[in-house]
Amino acid sequence: MSSLTGKRITLIITGSIAAYKAIELIRLLTKAGAEVEGVLTKGGAAFITPLSVEALTGKRVHTEMWDEHSYEMNHIELSRRADLIAIAPATAGIIAKIANGIGDDLASSVLLARNKPILLAPSMNTEMWENAAFRRNLAQAQADGAILVAPQTDTLACGETGIGKMAEPTSIFDAIETHFRSAETLSGKTAIVTSGGTIERIDSVRYISNFSSGKQGNAIALSLAQSGAKVSLVVGNTKEHAPKHPNIEIIPVESAEDMKVAVDAKLPADIFVGCAAVCDFRVSNKSDKKLKKEAGLDLQFEENPDIAKSVGTLRKEERPHLVIGFAAETDELIHHAQKKLVSKGCDLVVANDVSQGAIFGQDQNTVHFVTRESIQTLDTLLKSKVADAIVDWIRERL
């Protein structure tokens, strides 16, 4: 049986010459047993007709926010009854709306109101694809959970040659099928992921923290959720928006002690990923009032709990099946990672070099997988791809 049998897909078709390829994609999806419901933007309708979409889906195509023939709120229902929302072709305009939370028509409102994963198959001119503002929008859409089916390099409709041609329907179909296959691999598993930095208060207005952005931890939580796991994402100090997915529960915390309490409350679990940058020390003589400058600072410190160690060294019947820690180091990276692997009782330590502030807040990461058996160095990848590699490692061992 196909992984698409009985799956419901809302397909949004936007204004690009590649819209005609959506017809073939619908045929492939329905042949594999999926139910497809079409949403056609005004731009999309300039290239293909609603009738052609309806003929292949066997369902009425949606073009307007409010349908005079139905009481339904289309932008809500089209998300709720879908297992996946695919946008093919996805223009730069619709990706900008996704990234910036704009809902000014039916398609963008469906995406804004979604509680399901989305898949993007972009189509545009090379200069648009490489435009800095578009790249920021695409990165934000991916950080928020969008699955990307990258465009091809070829002769484009405008006559120029370069990247921007929408992936072929067969490639988009394969990506959708892969999504549903992977979405079931960790079904029934529970995971705890810590993300961001922690805040250790000095007084009522000052605190000690670090530069952790939370991007990597958030990406890991999202990848686990997309693989079917129920994820408790314990989030510390971060400016990043937590990923939106029905399998993710967000638990905001402030200090290292708060984070440990939140983690302990979610045990037992099958998987623990300690990606947060937890402050090693806290101020033991913090003040409830603002300390005055003229009084000076006489700070005293005590060690914070080591959350990864507390989880990794639990008794076998209480310990998660897999415990993954992180080592952010400025020197002797592998040596320190190997020490942490043993001292914290981890099954895997993901090591990265943070010399001169590298990695923090960036979209890419270069990591090493350190286990008792091996050291594997990954290429420099988007943090979303690093997350996928970690989840692949988890999947193989569960």
Total tally of structural domains belonging to the chain: 2
In a domain, 3, yes or no: no
In a domain, 296, yes or no: yes
The H-or-E segment that residue 175 falls in is helix 169-182
Please indicate, yes or no, whether residues 266 and 176 belong to a single structural domain of this protein.
Answer: no
Q: Domain holding 58: CATH number?
A: 3.40.50.1950
- Cα of first residue to Cα of last residue in the chain, in angstroms, is 23
User: What is the model's pLDDT at position 258?
Assistant: 96
User: What is the model's pLDDT at position 88?
Assistant: 97
Please indicate, yes or no, whether residues 29 and 91 belong to a single structural domain of this protein.
Answer: yes
In a domain, 134, yes or no: yes
Please indicate, yes or no, whether residues 158 and 203 belong to a single structural domain of this protein.
Answer: no
Q: Domain holding 237: CATH number?
A: 3.40.50.10300
Q: Residue 328: give the domain boundaries.
A: 190-397
Please indicate, yes or no, whether residues 111 and 144 belong to a single structural domain of this protein.
Answer: yes
C-alpha to C-alpha distance for 290 and 201, rounded to whole angstroms: 11
Q: Tell me the C-alpha to C-alpha distance, in Å, between residue 128 and each of 75, 132, 135, 256.
A: 28, 9, 9, 43
Please indicate, yes or no, whether residues 229 and 301 belong to a single structural domain of this protein.
Answer: yes
Please indicate, yes or no, whether residues 124 and 91 belong to a single structural domain of this protein.
Answer: yes
Please indicate, yes or no, whether residues 309 and 203 belong to a single structural domain of this protein.
Answer: yes
Q: 158, 275, 279, 346: which is the annotated catalytic residue?
A: 158
Q: What is the DSSP letter of 264?
A: H
In a domain, 1, yes or no: no
In the residue annotation, 275 being an active-site residue is answered as no
Q: 295: burial class by Cβ within 10 Å (0-12, 13-18, 19+)?
A: exposed
Ranges of H-type helices in 18-168: 21-31, 42-45, 50-57, 74-80, 92-100, 106-112, 126-130, 132-143
In a domain, 2, yes or no: no
Report pLDDT digits (tens) over 295-319: 777 889 999 999 999 999 999 999 9
Amino acid at 392: D
User: What is the model's pLDDT at position 34?
Assistant: 95
In a domain, 352, yes or no: yes
C-alpha to C-alpha distance for 280 and 197, rounded to whole angstroms: 11
In a domain, 173, yes or no: yes
Q: Tell me the C-alpha to C-alpha distance, in Å, between residue 187 and each of 108, 182, 241, 261, 393.
A: 30, 9, 25, 26, 16
Q: Which of 122, 151, 182 is the last residue of a domain?
A: 182
Please indicate, yes or no, whether residues 130 and 222 belong to a single structural domain of this protein.
Answer: no
User: What is the model's pLDDT at position 72?
Assistant: 59
Please indicate, yes or no, whether residues 373 and 269 belong to a single structural domain of this protein.
Answer: yes
Q: DSSP string of 177-242?
A: HHHHHHTTTTTT-EEEEEESB--EESSSS-EE-----SHHHHHHHHHHHHTT-EEEEEE-B-SSPP
C-alpha to C-alpha distance for 387 and 393, rounded to whole angstroms: 10
Q: Which of 182, 214, 230 is the last residue of a domain?
A: 182
Q: Which of 182, 211, 238 is the last residue of a domain?
A: 182
Please indicate, yes or no, whether residues 79 and 111 belong to a single structural domain of this protein.
Answer: yes
Please indicate, yes or no, whether residues 285 and 341 belong to a single structural domain of this protein.
Answer: yes
In a domain, 89, yes or no: yes
User: What is the model's pLDDT at position 266?
Assistant: 97
Please indicate, yes or no, whether residues 137 and 207 belong to a single structural domain of this protein.
Answer: no
pTM greater than 0.75 (yes/no): no
- Over the chain (398 residues), the average pLDDT of each successive run of 10 is 85 95 97 95 95 94 73 73 95 96 93 91 93 93 88 82 91 91 87 96 90 91 92 92 86 96 97 95 90 83 95 95 91 91 96 72 82 91 88 92
Q: Following CA atoms 40, 41, 45, 48 in sequence, which dihedral angle do they give, to the nearest 10 degrees?
A: -50
